[in-house]
């Protein structure tokens, strides 16, 4: 698949590279595995002198031996003695950067926690000494989100406050997904919606499905539910390293949230234990779940609903992880039948989420959310507010347009609209047929 999107990120990276002509710059690329961080960095660097170093789990001396070979492919190094520590590699490159303007990409940077955690202090010391005189554009990439945040955002860590920019790389937005599918001659709104539901805009998943001609829901499920499918155990592959030894507890919580148990009391009653610390880490440290409160709720409101931010992980925990016994015995047809049975129900909230995402790209509203009252009744799927222009947009979202009643929507919104008495109000029914309106 060709390189798509990322125009804003490339613009930032190019600006930083130009600034390196007078002083070194440090950039951090974070985001979950498979989102395209490495592809972004190498796409940016391909037309300029650059060195790419991948931190694999091997001894530091072997890594340094490998890195010297990589460096010699770009620069004509003098004969030097044996280098067995990464800090010596960094110092060598910083010395070179005093006269040469180039980019250094260090991938899987968090792996030094396992190999030699003193590397972070070494880099801090060297960077502080050389930055002002250097012309080095240094980019650190990491796929373990929690560790990368700790390295660069924890005030107790040596590299805290050293990065000039930290870019969080996100999945493709809906409009970009539509462009990709169009290049594969797929213009169906249904295909776009299924790709949104199952891939969540993750570039590698879109590429896997599209290059294997899996465009219908049936073909998508056939591709995923196969003994040799690269996506069958993807949720575990992505998250086990993040969660460590306690991954089973985290997986149980995520599976319940994906299955509709979205409040902490519901989850705790099923697991029969306090999960406060786990929920906090899933939200703050791992950035996997988010909170939903009514759009007009005060800060600290207790009526909180949790959701998985990542559509693919939501799908995986809802349908794959929960049925792992059937998958382990090779009974893929059972899982496929179960998905087909529940898919329409599952897709209702996903269509709401898709319209939330589409509305956010229009930049017309400063608040976009949902609403429900204190009794968890009178729920409104979309509430979007422009406080400057005093406009409020309320929408009911259903797969079947015929099941939407604007009169019922107006009735449900009466209490909410007391907070927006002077606002111009628009009521809307949204269904699959409206997706194309928001792609223009």
Tens of pLDDT along 311-344? Answer: 999 999 999 999 999 999 999 999 999 999 999 9
The dihedrals phi and psi of 198, each to the nearest 5 degrees, come to: -95, -40
Predicted pLDDT of residue 78 = 72
How many residues in total does the chain contain?
440
Q: At 266, list the tokens.
A: 């519901």
- Full-prediction pTM beyond 0.75? yes
CA 168 to chain centre: 8
CA atoms of 96 and 108, how far apart (whole Å): 23
DSSP 79: P
Predicted pLDDT of residue 138 = 96
Predicted pLDDT of residue 1 = 64
Q: Which residues contact 76 (CB under 8 A, 6 or more apart)?
A: none
**427 and 406 Cβ atoms separated by less than 8 Å:** yes
For the chain, 440 residues long, give each residue's pLDDT as a single digit of tens.
677 778 899 999 999 999 999 999 999 999 988 899 999 999 999 988 999 999 998 999 999 999 998 998 898 877 577 888 999 999 999 999 999 999 999 999 999 988 999 999 999 999 999 999 999 999 999 988 888 989 999 999 999 999 999 999 999 999 999 999 999 999 999 999 999 999 999 999 999 999 999 999 999 999 999 999 999 999 999 898 889 889 999 999 999 999 999 999 999 999 999 999 999 999 988 889 999 989 988 776 777 899 999 999 999 999 999 999 999 999 999 999 999 999 999 999 999 999 999 999 988 999 999 999 888 788 999 999 999 999 999 999 999 999 999 999 999 999 999 999 999 999 999 999 999 999 98
Number of neighbours of residue 268 by Cβ within 10 angstroms: 17
Tens of pLDDT along 418-432? Answer: 999 999 999 999 999
Structural domains of the chain, ranges and CATH numbers in brackets: 7-168 (3.40.50.300), 174-224 (no CATH), 234-329 (1.10.10.10), 357-438 (3.40.1350.10)
Q: Which of 359, 330, 334 is nearest to 434 (CA)?
A: 359
The dihedrals phi and psi of 427, each to the nearest 5 degrees, come to: -110, 140
């Amino acid at each position: 698949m060709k390189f798509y999107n990322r125009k804003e990120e490339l613009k930032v990276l190019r600006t930083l590279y130009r600034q390196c002509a007078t002083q070194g710059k440090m950039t951090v690329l974070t985001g979950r595995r498979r989102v395209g961080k490495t592809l972004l960095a190498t796409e940016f660097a391909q037309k300029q002198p650059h060195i790419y170093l991948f931190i694999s789990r091997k001894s530091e001396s072997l890594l340094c031996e490998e890195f010297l070979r990589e460096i010699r492919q770009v620069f004509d190094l003098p004969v030097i003695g044996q280098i067995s520590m990464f800090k010596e590699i960094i110092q060598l490159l910083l010395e070179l950067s005093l006269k040469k303007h180039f980019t250094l990409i260090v991938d899987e940077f968090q792996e030094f926690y396992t190999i030699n955690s003193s590397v972070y202090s070494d880099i801090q010391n060297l960077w502080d000494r050389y930055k002002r005189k250097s012309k080095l554009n240094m980019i650190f990439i990491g796929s373990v989100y929690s560790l990368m945040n700790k390295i660069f955002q924890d005030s107790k860590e040596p590299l805290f406050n050293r990065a000039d920019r930290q870019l969080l790389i996100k999945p493709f937005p809906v409009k970009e997904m539509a462009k990709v599918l169009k290049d594969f001659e797929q213009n169906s709104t249904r295909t776009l919606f299924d790709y949104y539901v199952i891939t969540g805009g993750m570039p590698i998943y879109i590429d896997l499905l599209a290059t294997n001609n899996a465009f219908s829901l049936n073909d998508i499920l056939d591709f995923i539910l196969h003994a040799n499918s690269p996506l069958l155990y993807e949720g575990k592959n992505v998250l086990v390293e993040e969660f460590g030894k306690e991954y089973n507890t985290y997986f149980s919580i995520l599976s319940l949230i994906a299955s509709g148990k979205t409040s902490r009391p519901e989850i705790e009653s099923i697991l029969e234990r306090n999960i406060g610390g786990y929920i906090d880490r899933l939200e703050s440290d791992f950035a996997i779940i988010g909170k939903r409160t009514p759009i007009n709720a005060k800060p600290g409101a207790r009526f909180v609903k949790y959701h998985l931010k990542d559509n693919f992980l939501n799908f995986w925990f809802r349908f794959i992880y929960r049925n792992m016994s059937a998958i382990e015995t090779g009974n893929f047809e059972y899982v496929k039948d179960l998905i087909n049975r529940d898919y329409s129900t599952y897709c209702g909230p996903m269509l709401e989420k898709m319209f939330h995402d589409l509305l956010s790209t229009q930049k017309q509203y400063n608040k976009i959310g949902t609403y429900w009252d204190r009794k968890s009744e009178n729920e409104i799927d979309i509430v979007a507010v422009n406080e400057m222009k005093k406009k409020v947009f309320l929408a009911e979202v259903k797969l079947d347009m015929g099941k939407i009643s604007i009169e019922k929507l107006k009735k449900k919104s009466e209490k909410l609209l007391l907070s927006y008495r002077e606002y111009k109000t628009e009521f809307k029914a949204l269904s699959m047929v409206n997706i194309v309106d928001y792609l223009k």
